[in-house]
Structure 1
């Protein structure tokens, strides 16, 4: 996975006055880039529960598309980013392997929204994430992570995942901080639009 670069040492310190925290979960299939995204965008040194992959995972975890991968998340990743002086996002990266999916429901507790990170080579790996988010009624956007050359257009991704037209589907590179920030801003705007729509409907 992507290692943190030296720019983390010069990022602005967190504001001690921040009082409101919003919980965001990043989900997706095994090796899709969730840990990398948390590492890229977090203002603090991320808490990571990555462990070295061993022979025990052979036949259980399909690593055929991520042969370079040597570690894997066994609980969750945690990071934090400030939106303004009063608002911060708490980022939780969920483990991708099926044997750790039992942790997801707890991670979703109290979550404002989610980013579903997808690899166009393995779109089917996203179905479980979408199913659990819909089960919990958690709003989400989809981000196509371009570690490699995309195999499908964004519209093809939308169609393959059977997404409603209002759900944002965007490009990203989980290795790049600005790209990850754009993903989070897109999610925040989507959540705001849902909130505004709900407020209008409640007063109608």
Structure 2
């Protein structure tokens, strides 16, 4: 019994980071469905961050965002948002970990394609704010192979239409349940 308990504990310790990584990865959820536009700014008063978030509320620019499947993620002062909705702290940290960025003093703007490839639009350098038209231009210049990527279809189970049929088309009787296995002896 002790051996089984130790084996189970070891398996859970080894597998738990894998389960945690799947549950809180915001960019992985967008893969194949949308193009995340991630803005990492030192503060919420950053001109690029404010300009892009205000532009996403404008009806004409909002239509451009939807047409190009853009989703705006922002991180300012370690507070994350997805299209003006706050992210949990764990999801914000997972977003930063997924990007694998180094240290920077300025604002970073990263466009992630549907295929998961990162395109850096601004790397902390430059003082002029980045506007929505520059983002649209960058999306329009993406390769055609990236634009053709779609979300993987979930595999649906074959619907059971009544009882299964046998060789000659007659319904088959369900099999008897097997006897429970004998308990293991230590």
Question: What interval of TM-score do these two structures reach, taking the shorter chain for normalisation?
Answer: 0.3 to 0.5
TM-score (norm 1): 0.31
Structure whose alpha-carbon radius of gyration is higher: 2
Structure with a larger share of its residues in strand:
1
